[in-house]
Every structure is written in structure tokens, then in C-alpha cells.
């Protein structure tokens, strides 16, 4: 032990010296408030500096500009130094530490004031802070003359929180954080930390026990799995070139625009020859031109937020603010979105605010208590997925999630959020037996806290970003999912129509001879088609876990399977509602999707598969170019049955309409019977062009049809056309004039 040679007081130490008990507390990492001890402090008429630098034998104090301010005395061989400095006021300090021939410099984090202020505390406590993504986590900052990173984390029940990383040898004693008692947020400015540094939070629970190191909930970048540390990242810089794209969607009515979504798992759409992931830039070079050529209006990515386990497809995320490291740095994703917008393609993120995985480095029992999740497993644990459920009744948790939605919209210019597993959020008894759930305050099974969260989420999202659309994956008949909040709705822009997906696939699995007995499976959907703003999804959920691909679900031999699928796609593109198709289904991939391998692109060498791809492409451009097919997708005035009750022939026909536009007739024959002179009522005399026929040879069909047109004639006060219906096919007609 070494002491400075000043005269001793009655307690055996110099007036400026720190009691040895406090030194021991600093060295052990158990001191309640290192900011009250370390750094520069007034002492009598002068200023004294104290620092803890493990391994140092001598320390020189300097100002930030290098001016020498004094030499400190070693008070403890573990590396605790103390001594007077020639300062007239408290200022940030630097230290030159030496041990033998080694010398290194570091800036004292305890010589800087806080970064967060009282207004941050106020808005955090009120739950109205909508810029938390600029305050929490790790942000580069020039603070009081020094460059570094500011760290902030919410852990109100912790006894001590430190930021640890490669910049301090993962030593939790070096950067113990300052507690803001009003909010439970811990913060510290760590000078000299560079972008790309790994870090986590070392948290000591209120019982004094150290928790597993925690990744930053607000981290904007993370290590590639299986590593789990967060990474300090510079503020995102992207030269956006999408003003026209964003202006258009901010000013239009989304319900009246063509929206055809290509659902993509970024890790398996295509892979490099060695089986590794494409980077965002490589994906941009291939995926964007493909989607533009195919005529889709949007790409919807399965979750790309950081997640530890590939087979979760991203739905069990440990880093909601970090684009996964699998495809490169966050700037790469920003470039991808910018590239999409330049060619008019929107980008939607599959977003998971319902639950999170229980990995030790994640959110579960973050500060030693149930912080982000409910403490009661009947409310806080999801039996289906073995995950933790967010506590939607806690203001800080709502702020964390709502700020995340705003973060993606602002920083990455996302066009939409598809919110996963909404039904699991809305019902307290979701996947639970009697006695395994806690009723709400009125004794019901509705999760009122989740309802308020979703309403607040949608209100904040649409208020902040007019061009954003939110889409609910909600599988029940919960009312008003896509109705405005002020009308008692949840406030989503759209809702997935799970009923359409299930009913139509159930019908098409049946042999055609049996379909007459299930005719209503395809007519029933029109009873509720306008109760919500619907997206018709043929999603990843239908082509995994033993369900097979869409082509494999179709009834019949191989020819009939392809014909059924082509007829089905045109039926869907002619049906009211926006469209969504999962990757690989646009060319009728036979095998079930797996995240572990690329799509079977080689199938495009075969005419039936290439034919389906060409059909989907033509359907997209037909849907987009004909306002009758999209402008009233969400309004009943845009649909009229022409034939709804011909169950014997399994024929369906309807009219799609839009004010001031040509109507379009959609006619489907779901049997393999070739029908000539089939009478279809039409609203207008004259010639109608056959603008699409799924039985065309170019699509892999038999080439039967109407020679490009039919004639509608008036007889007995009704207008009809005698139409040729190809087998297992859909035709689309439009009046020539």
C-alpha cells in the first residue's frame, strides 16, 4: 500500500484522502455511487482527482488538450490513484498511465456530466418520449470536448449497472453507470470508445448477485451469431433518393392503390455458391430487379431484426433495433431500401412485438426482475413458443416497442410494418386451458392492455409517418382491427384475411368431382370481405412444417396441379383485397420451404414452372394497370356477383368495378371439364377482350379459350355472352370500349 506524504489528520489520513473502505468498494465494484468518488472533486480550496486504472503503477493527469495538471499517488496496488491537480474548476481529465516500459492513455468517464436531462426523465415517466431511439442504447457523441459513446439502459431494480466491452477488458468496475433515480435509467459517457466496439451491460441484481451479461435492448448493431454482444455503431448515414416515392405514399389512400406483396426470407431467397448468406448489396443487385420485373409493388421481409437461432426465421428476436448481422452492417439495409424506393418498390418489415425469446443475454429478467415481461407466467410466458410475453401494462415497455416502430420508419424509411401474432396479444386465454390465464378487470378474456398498446402504436405511427401502413396478422374475428382508433378500432391499415387463405386452400385440395359439395367455401368470404381492409395472404406459414408447397396442395395429377394453381392465382388476383405471395410460390416450387437452403431456381428451366412465373408477372401488371381490380379493393361497391350459385359446374364469376373505369369480369372454372357456350351475364353489350387466360400455352396450359374476345348481346332485357371456359382455368374479360 502506498500513501501520499501529506500530513495526517486525527483519523490517520490526509484531509484529501479517501477512506480506505471506500477505496476497497471502488476496487471490488460494490461502491454505491462511483461518480461521488472518482474523477475531479473540490477539496478544501483546491481540486483533487481520483481514478481506478488496474495494472498502472504511475499516473499523470492532463487536460483534454494535453496540459499536465499533476501526478497522482498510488493509494492501492490494485490501481487506485489520488492526488491534487492544478485546476480552478471541474473539467474533464485525461490520464497517462505507466507500468514498467508500457504507457497508455485514457480519458476519465467520471469527469463528465450526464447527457440525459430532466425533460428526458419527464417524457420517459409520462410515456410520451418518441425519440428514445436517439437517447437509449449507445450513441456516438462529442460531450464536453471529448469524443466517445453515450450509453443508457433501463434497469430500475438493479443494484449496479456497468457497461463492459473490449474497450475496458470487460471489467465491470471501469464504467459503472450513473443512476437517474426518477426513471431507473442508468447512463454514462464513455470517452474514446470507437464505433465497432463490442459491449454488453453487467448488471448486479438487488440481491447483489451478478446476472448473465445482457445485450443492449436498444443496440443498433450486434455481433453475428453465435456471438451475442452488441456493437457500438455510428449514426446511420444514407443519402436518400426516395422523395418522390415517399411523397406518393404519404398523400395517397393506400386502400385504393394496387398493393401486391412479395414475402421474402432474406436468408434463403438465394444463397452464395458456398451456401453463405448474400449481403444486402448482393441481395439488392438480384432481388430488386427481380421484384420490379415481376410487377410486385412491395417486398415484405420476414423479421430481419437480430435473432440467435436461424430456424426461428427471425420471429424470436433479441435485438429489435438491430438489423441482423447475417447480411452485413445496418447501412447495407438502408441502401437496399433506398434502391427499392428508387424503382417504386415499398419495403415492409415483419415485426414482432408480441413476445421475445428467453436467451440469457436477452430481455428476460433483465435487471434480475420481470422487467419487460409479466412476472406471472400465466400472463408472461407463451406456451406455444416457449417465449416471454411483453408486459403491455408497463409504460416503459410500451415506449420501447412504439419507439421501435417509429425507429424503423424514420431511420430506414420503411413503408410498412406487418405486426405478427396479434391474436396472441389480444386474448388472455390464447393457447391456454381453463385456470391457466388471468381474466381482465371485467372478468373477460380480452387483453385490454394489449388493445391500448396496439391503438397507441397505430396512432403514433400514422401521426408521425403518413406514408406508413401497418398490417395485422390477426387470425380471429376480433372486430374493427383495421378501423380508426377514434371509432373504437385497433387502428391498423390492413388485416391479413386468414379466412380467405384457409377456405380457398381447403377447397383446392379437394378433387374437382367433390367441389360441388363445397361451393360455399369460396362464396362465404364475400359476406365479410369488406368488414376490414384485407390483405389476401398466401404466406410462409402455409408452406412449412409438413404442409408442403402450394403446388403440392393442389388436387389431381401434375398437369391438373399446375392448372389448379394457375386458376387459383388469377381467382385471387381478381378477388377483392391486396395480395401477398411467399417467395418460391410464384414459380410453383415443389419442395416445402426451408430456411436452410436457397429456392429451387433451377425449376425455371421447365416450362410448367416458368409458365406459372409468367402468369404471376402478368397478373401483377394486369392488377396494377386496371383500376377496376384494385381501386375498390376495400369497398363493397367494387364487387358484383355475376354467377355465385353454379355449384354443379364449380364456376364462379364476378365483376370488379371502380368509378369512371372499365369494369373487369373474372370467371373461374374449377373443374377439368372444357365448357363451350357457357352463358355469363355481363353489364355491357359489345365485344369484351380476354385480357388474361390461365390456360394459355405460354403459361403451360392447353391453349383453349375465346380467341381473344367474346361478344355480349342483349336478349330479353338481359345482356349475356356465350363464353368458352377452359378446364381448371380463370379468364379475365374487359369491354373493348
Rounded-to-integer distance, Cα 285 and Cα 253, Å: 31
CB 328 within 8 Å of CB 273:
no
CA distance 350 to 298: 13
Predicted confidence (pLDDT) per residue in 129-146, tens digit: 989 999 999 999 999 999
Phi, psi for 150 (deg, rounded to 5):
-95, 130
Left, alpha or beta for 83 (phi > 0: left; psi -120 to 50: alpha)? Answer: left
Residue 281's pLDDT band (cuts 50, 70, 90): very high
257, pLDDT greater than 90: yes
pLDDT on residue 17 = 81
Segment 284-311 shows an average pLDDT of: 97
Helix axis angle for 330-342 and 280-294, nearest 10°, is 20
What is the layout of strands, in order, in the sheet containing 686-693? 639-646, 651-656, 664-669, 729-735, 686-693, 709-715, 718-725, 675-681
In angstroms, the CA 693 to CA 615 distance is: 9
Cell reading at 191: 470517452
Report the side by side order of strands in the sheet with 387-389: 355-356, 387-389, 381-382
Are the C-beta atoms of 112 and 144 separated by less than 8 Å?
yes
Catalytic-labelled residue, pool 17, 329, 373, 420: 420
Helix (H, G, I), strand (E, B) or coil at 392: coil
Mean pLDDT computed over 205-234: 96
Work out the widest C-alpha separation in the chain, in whole angstroms.
120
CB atoms within 10 A of CB 313: 18
Confidence check: pLDDT of 9 > 50: no
The pLDDT of residue 16: 62
User: If you average pLDDT over residues 601-629, what whole number do you get?
Assistant: 98
**Lowest-confidence pick of 36-45, 203-212, 569-578, 607-616:** 36-45
- Report residue 349: phi and psi, to 5°: -105, 125
Q: What mean pLDDT, rounded, does the chain reach?
A: 94
Of the candidates 649, 643, 641, which has an alpha carbon nearest to the alpha carbon of residue 673? Answer: 649
Task: For residues 694 and 705, give the distance between their C-alpha atoms in angstroms, rounded to a whole number.
Answer: 9
Whether residue 473 lies in the annotated active site: yes
Q: What is the grid cell recorded at 477?
A: 374475428
> How many helices (H) does the chain have, and how many strands (E)?
16, 35
Nearest to 266 by CA among 325, 339, 353: 325
- Res 12: pLDDT: 39
Selecting among 108, 306, 473, 532, the annotated active-site residue is: 473
Q: How do residues 512-531 score in pLDDT, each as one tens digit?
A: 999 999 999 999 999 999 99
3 confidence band (pLDDT: 50, 70, 90): very low
What confidence tens digit (pLDDT) does each residue in 537-584 have? 999 989 888 889 999 999 999 999 999 999 999 999 999 999 999 999
420 is catalytic: yes
Query: How far is the C-alpha of 542 from the C-alpha of 553, rounded, in Å?
Result: 10
Q: For residue 653, give Cα distances in angstroms to 316, 521, 522, 536, 670.
A: 43, 15, 11, 19, 11
Residue 716 grid coordinates: 330479353
572-590 pLDDT, tens digit each: 999 999 999 999 999 999 9
Compute the residue count for the chain: 737
**DSSP-derived secondary structure for 28-58:** HT--S-GGGTSEEEEETTEEEEEEE-TT-SE
pLDDT for the residue numbered 44: 82
Partners of 190 in the β-ladder? 149
pLDDT digits (tens, 9 = 90+) for 383-432: 888 999 999 999 999 999 999 999 999 999 999 999 999 999 999 999 99
The reported pLDDT for the residue numbered 299 is 98
- Cis amide bond preceding 413, omega within 30: no
Mean pLDDT of 706-729: 95
User: Of 529, 448, 523, which Cα lies nearest the Cα of 482?
Assistant: 529
Q: Could you tell me which residue, 185 or 6, shows the higher pLDDT?
A: 185
**3 state SS of 710:** strand
pLDDT digits (tens, 9 = 90+) for 308-323: 999 898 899 999 999 9
Question: What's the per-residue H, E or C state across 488-512?
Answer: CCCCCCEEECHHHHHHHHHHHCCCH
Tell me the per-residue pLDDT of 428-459, one tens digit each, with 9 for 90 and over.
999 999 989 999 999 999 999 999 999 999 99
Instruction: Quickly state the pLDDT bin for 2 (edges 50, 70, 90).
Output: very low
H or E segment to which residue 427 belongs: none
Could you tell me the pLDDT band of residue 69, with boundaries at 50, 70 and 90? very high
* Predicted confidence (pLDDT) at residue 492 exceeds the cutoff of 80: yes
Q: How many CB atoms lie within 10 A of CB 380?
A: 18
pLDDT band at 32 (very low <50, low <70, confident <90, very high): confident
Binned at pLDDT 50, 70 and 90, residue 10 comes out as: very low
Phi, then psi, of 255 in degrees rounded to 5: -65, -25
Amino acid at each position: 500500500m502506498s500513501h501520499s506524504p501529506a500530513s495526517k489528520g486525527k483519523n490517520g489520513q490526509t484531509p484529501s484522502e479517501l477512506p480506505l473502505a471506500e477505496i476497497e468498494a471502488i476496487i471490488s465494484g460494490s461502491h454505491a455511487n462511483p461518480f461521488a468518488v472518482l474523477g475531479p472533486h473540490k477539496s478544501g480550496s483546491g481540486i483533487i482527482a481520483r481514478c481506478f486504472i488496474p495494472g498502472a503503477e504511475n499516473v499523470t493527469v492532463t487536460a483534454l488538450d494535453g496540459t499536465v495538471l499533476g501526478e497522482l499517488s498510488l493509494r492501492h496496488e490494485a490501481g487506485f490513484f489520488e492526488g491534487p491537480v492544478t485546476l480552478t474548476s471541474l473539467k474533464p481529465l485525461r490520464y497517462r498511465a505507466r507500468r514498467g516500459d508500457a504507457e497508455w492513455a485514457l480519458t476519465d468517464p467520471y469527469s463528465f456530466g450526464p447527457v440525459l436531462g430532466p425533460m428526458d426523465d419527464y417524457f420517459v415517466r409520462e410515456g410520451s418520449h418518441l425519440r428514445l431511439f436517439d437517447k437509449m442504447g449507445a450513441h456516438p457523441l462529442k460531450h464536453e470536448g471529448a469524443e466517445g459513446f453515450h450509453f443508457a439502459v433501463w434497469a430500475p431494480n438493479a443494484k449496479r449497472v456497468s457497461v463492459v466491452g473490449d474497450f475496458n477488458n470487460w471489467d465491470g468496475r471501469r464504467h459503472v453507470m450513473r443512476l437517474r433515480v426518477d426513471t431507473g435509467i442508468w447512463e454514462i459517457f464513455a470517452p474514446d470508445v470507437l464505433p465497432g466496439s463490442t459491449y454488453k451491460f453487467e448488471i448486479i441484481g438487488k440481491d447483489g448477485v451478478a446476472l448473465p451479461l445482457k445485450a443492449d435492448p436498444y443496440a443498433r448493431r450486434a455481433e453475428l451469431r453465435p456471438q451475442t454482444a452488441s456493437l457500438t455503431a455510428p449514426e446511420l448515414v444514407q443519402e436518400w433518393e426516395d422523395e418522390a416515392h415517399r411523397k406518393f405514399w404519404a398523400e395517397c389512400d393506400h386502400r385504393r392503390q394496387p398493393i401486391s406483396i412479395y414475402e421474402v426470407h432474406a436468408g434463403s431467397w438465394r444463397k452464395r455458391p458456398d451456401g453463405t448468406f448474400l449481403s444486402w448489396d448482393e441481395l439488392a443487385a438480384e432481388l430488386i430487379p427481380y421484384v420490379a420485373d415481376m410487377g410486385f409493388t412491395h417486398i415484405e421481409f420476414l423479421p430481419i431484426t437480430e435473432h440467435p437461432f436461424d430456424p426461428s426465421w427471425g420471429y424470436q428476436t433479441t435485438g429489435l433495433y438491430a438489423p441482423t448481422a447475417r447480411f452485413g452492417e445496418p447501412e447495407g439495409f438502408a441502401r437496399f431500401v433506398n434502391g427499392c424506393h428508387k424503382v417504386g418498390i415499398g419495403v415492409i418489415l415483419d415485426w414482432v412485438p408480441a413476445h421475445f425469446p428467453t436467451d440469457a443475454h436477452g430481455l428476460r429478467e433483465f435487471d434480475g426482475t420481470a422487467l419487460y415481461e409479466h412476472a406471472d407466467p400465466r400472463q408472461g410466458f407463451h406456451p406455444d413458443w416457449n417465449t416471454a410475453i411483453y408486459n403491455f401494462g408497463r409504460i416503459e415497455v410500451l415506449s420501447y416497442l412504439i419507439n421501435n416502430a417509429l425507429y424503423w420508419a424514420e431511420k430506414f424509411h420503411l413503408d410498412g410494418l406487418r405486426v405478427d401474432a396479434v391474436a396472441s396479444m389480444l386474448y388472455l386465454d390464447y393457447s391456454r386451458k381453463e385456470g391457466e390465464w388471468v381474466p381482465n378487470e371485467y372478468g373477460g378474456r380480452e387483453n385490454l392492455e394489449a388493445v391500448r398498446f396496439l391503438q397507441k402504436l397505430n396512432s403514433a405511427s400514422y401521426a408521425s409517418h403518413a406514408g406508413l401502413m401497418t398490417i395485422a396478422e390477426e387470425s380471429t374475428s376480433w372486430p374493427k382491427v383495421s378501423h380508426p382508433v377514434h371509432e373504437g378500432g385497433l387502428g391498423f391499415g390492413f388485416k391479413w384475411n386468414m379466412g380467405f387463405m384457409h377456405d380457398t386452400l381447403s377447397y383446392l385440395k379437394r378433387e374437382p368431382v367433390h367441389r360441388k359439395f363445397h361451393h360455399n367455401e369460396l362464396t362465404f368470404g364475400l359476406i365479410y370481405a369488406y368488414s376490414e381492409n384485407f390483405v389476401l395472404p398466401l404466406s410462409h406459414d402455409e408452406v412449412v412444417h409438413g404442409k408442403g408447397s402450394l403446388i403440392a396442395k393442389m388436387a389431381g395429377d401434375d398437369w391438373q396441379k399446375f392448372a389448379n394453381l394457375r386458376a387459383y392465382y388469377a381467382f385471387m388476383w381478381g378477388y377483392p383485397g391486396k395480395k401477398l405471395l411467399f417467395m418460391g410460390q410464384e414459380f410453383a416450387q415443389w419442395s416445402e420451404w426451408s430456411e436452410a437452403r436457397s429456392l429451387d431456381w433451377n425449376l425455371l428451366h421447365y416450362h410448367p414452372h416458368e409458365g406459372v412465373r409468367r402468369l404471376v408477372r402478368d397478373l401483377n401488371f394486369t392488377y396494377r394497370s386496371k383500376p377496376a381490380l384494385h381501386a375498390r379493393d376495400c369497398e363493397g361497391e367494387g364487387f358484383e356477383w355475376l354467377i355465385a350459385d353454379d355449384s354443379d359446374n364449380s364456376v364462379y364469376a364476378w365483376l370488379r368495378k371502380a368509378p369512371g373505369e372499365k369494369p373487369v369480369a373474372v370467371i373461374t372454372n374449377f373443374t377439368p371439364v372444357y365448357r363451350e357456350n357457357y352463358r355469363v351475364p355481363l353489364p355491357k353489350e359489345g365485344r369484351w377482350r380476354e385480357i388474361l387466360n390461365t390456360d394459355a400455352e405460354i403459361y403451360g396450359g392447353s391453349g383453349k379459350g375465346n380467341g381473344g374476345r367474346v361478344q355480349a348481346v342483349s336478349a330479353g332485357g338481359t345482356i349475356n355472352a356465350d363464353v368458352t371456359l377452359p378446364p381448371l382455368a380463370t379468364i379475365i374479360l374487359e369491354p373493348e370500349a
